[in-house]
């Protein structure tokens, strides 16, 4: 897959509003390995008061939180998905977010862009951030 430039993206004011309103963040691809970016970012957000919900194919607990295998398995409301997956997985992620109906923010981490999936999420009423690190953006506020 060739690299895409994000044509669908929130601006700095929207990102500020995201962090002011979001409480629960499902982290898709949250690795148990503390050296991985997904772990570092999730740990940072957790220390800033956000409820982190790991979504990962194995493990029972990551960062002290119960691990779910999919967004559909999470039995409580989720405000935001923070995605550490390959760009071609984002269409399925957008579909899963739409199916849940409670996701307000679709955030694809640094280096992850899929404009078709982002547009789908935006059309469903979600705020969209692509190719940005949630930890870096939160720290800049």
| pLDDT score of 1 | 43
Asked whether residue 4 is domain-assigned, the answer is no
58 phi/psi in degrees, rounded to 5: -140, -175
Asked whether residue 5 is domain-assigned, the answer is no
Asked whether residue 1 is domain-assigned, the answer is no
Asked whether residue 7 is domain-assigned, the answer is no
Q: How many Cα atoms sit within 13 Å of 86 on the Cβ side?
A: 4
Global pTM value: 0.94
In whole angstroms, give the CA distance from residue 29 to residue 43.
Answer: 13
Tally the domains of the chain: 1
Asked whether residue 42 is domain-assigned, the answer is yes
pLDDT per residue as tens, the chain (141 positions): 456 777 778 788 999 999 999 999 999 999 999 999 999 999 999 999 999 999 999 999 999 999 999 999 999 999 999 999 999 999 999 999 999 999 999 999 999 999 999 999 999 999 999 999 999 999 998
Asked whether residue 135 is domain-assigned, the answer is yes
Asked whether residue 6 is domain-assigned, the answer is no
Q: Are 114 and 95 in contact (CB under 8 A)?
A: no
Residue 51 belongs to a domain with what CATH number? 3.40.50.720
Domain that holds residue 52: 12-140
Beta bridge partner(s), residue 28? 55, 83
Q: Please, which residues have CB within 8 angstroms of residue 49's CB and are 6 or more apart in sequence?
A: none
Helix (H) or strand (E) holding 138, with range, is: helix 134-140
In whole angstroms, give the CA distance from residue 84 to residue 108.
Answer: 7
């Amino acid at each position: 897959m060739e690299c895409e430039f994000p044509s669908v993206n929130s601006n700095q004011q929207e990102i500020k509003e995201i962090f002011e309103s979001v409480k629960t963040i499902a982290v898709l691809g949250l690795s148990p390995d503390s050296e991985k970016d997904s772990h570092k970012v999730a740990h940072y957000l957790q220390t800033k008061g956000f409820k982190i919900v790991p979504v990962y194919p194995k493990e029972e607990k990551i960062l002290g939180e119960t691990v779910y295998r999919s967004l559909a398995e999470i039995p409580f409301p989720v405000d935001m998905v923070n995605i550490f997956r390959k760009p071609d997985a984002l269409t399925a992620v957008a579909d899963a977010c739409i199916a849940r109906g409670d996701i307000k923010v679709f955030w694809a981490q640094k280096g992850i862009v899929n404009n078709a999936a982002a547009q789908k999420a935006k059309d469903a009423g979600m705020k969209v951030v692509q190719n940005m690190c949630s930890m870096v953006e939160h720290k800049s506020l």
